[in-house]
Amino acid sequence: GAEGSTLMSYFSKNQIRALMPKITFSTLRDLQCPVLQSNDLQGKPEESCSIEEVFEWLGAVLNQVSLDNKSSSFLSTYCCPEPSTVVEKAFLCTITGFIIPEKIIQLLEQLCCYFSEPKLAYWLTLTVHGFADSPVSWRESEHGFHKGGENLYNFVIFRNLDYWLHMAVGAHDDCPP
């Protein structure tokens, strides 16, 4: 109606345009991956890794940190937690942009459908990062981005459709409901 045309007129006069999310795909070869058991969040020595270890490893993978534990000009090194296994091919899809919660739910549902046919993968993951200065917050508190900015959550979905949900919020933010 009239309100819609007024809004469109405002956007076009001020040279504001909609941007589509940017999607990139990459294949990671011979990736050292932690061994996970859906029913064991804490992990067991020699059997499986904990959710904290997986979360840290995933951060390294997503940020393209070398996992070979070789020191170079850096003070620290990182390697995949044990026990681990080498995966010949892992696919990484990154979507950058403003994505509404309904689209994230739709993507999560599509990822769950991945296991409807027999697959070699035992688990997959979906990580959602909010912008550090996002005005969105949990509950009634203002997002404390001036003091930290952590704002993300991660699903690890298993073949049997069990899942782990790991959330990271800043020290000055309320925890999600």
Say yes or no: 60 and 107 in one domain: no
Task: Pick the last residue of a domain from 97, 130, 150.
Answer: 97
pLDDT of residue 105: 94
- Dist CA 85 CA 167 (whole Å): 25
Say yes or no: 91 and 118 in one domain: no
- Dist CA 138 CA 115 (whole Å): 31
CB-count exposure of residue 154 (10 Å: 0-12, 13-18, 19+): buried
pLDDT of residue 126: 94
The overall pTM is greater than 0.85: no
Owning domain of residue 88:
20-97
157 pLDDT more than 80: yes
133 pLDDT more than 80: no
- Dist CA 113 CA 30 (whole Å): 25
Of residues 161 and 16, the one with the higher pLDDT is 161
Other residues' Cβ atoms within 10 Å of the Cβ of residue 167: 14
Name the domain count of the chain. Answer: 2
| Confidence band, pLDDT 50/70/90 cuts, at residue 7 | confident
Tokens 């045309």 -> residue: 5
Say yes or no: 89 and 102 in one domain: no
90 pLDDT more than 70: yes
- Dist CA 84 CA 48 (whole Å): 8
Task: Pick the last residue of a domain from 45, 78, 97.
Answer: 97
Q: Which amino acid is at 110?
A: Q
Say yes or no: 86 and 116 in one domain: no
What per-residue string of b and e applies to 25-50 under the rule 16 or more CB within 10 Å gives b? eeeeeebbbbbbbbeeeebeeeebbb
- Dist CA 98 CA 110 (whole Å): 19
| Confidence band, pLDDT 50/70/90 cuts, at residue 34 | very high
- Dist CA 84 CA 36 (whole Å): 9
Say yes or no: 74 and 47 in one domain: yes
87 pLDDT more than 80: yes
Task: Pick the last residue of a domain from 29, 64, 97.
Answer: 97
Say yes or no: 71 and 119 in one domain: no
C-alpha 43, offset from chain centre? 20
Say yes or no: 50 and 89 in one domain: yes
Say yes or no: 86 and 124 in one domain: no
Say yes or no: 32 and 65 in one domain: yes
